[in-house]
Structure 1
Amino acid sequence: MSLLQPFISMLDRILNPLAAFTNDWGLAILLFALLVRSLLFRVNLLSARQQVRQIRMQPAIRQLREQYANQSRKLGEEMLRLYSRYGIKPGLAFAAGLIQMPIFMSLYPYFSLHGAQMTTMLIPWMQSLGVPDPAHALPVLYGIIGWLGMLISLVPDPAASQPALLKVGMPLAIMAVSLTVIWRSPAALVLYWAGSGIVTILERLFFRSSYGQKLLHKGIPVPELIKD
Structure 2
Amino acid sequence: MILVCLIALLIPGLSLGQAGISEVAATKHVEGSLGTAIWNGLLYAGFQSLVVASIISTSQLLDTTKKCMGFAIIGTVINGLMTALCAIMILGNMNALTQLEDGMSLPIFNIAKFINAPILLYAYSVILFCAFVSTGVGVVFGLVTRFEKVGFKSLNIEQRRIIISLISIVIATLLSFAGLTKLIAVGYGWIGRVCVFLLVIPLAVVAPIKNAKFKKEHPEVE
Q: Which has the higher contact order (CA 8 A, sep 6+)?
A: 2
Scaled by the length of structure 1, what TM-score is found?
Answer: 0.27
Scaled by the length of structure 2, what TM-score is found?
Answer: 0.28
More helix by share: 2
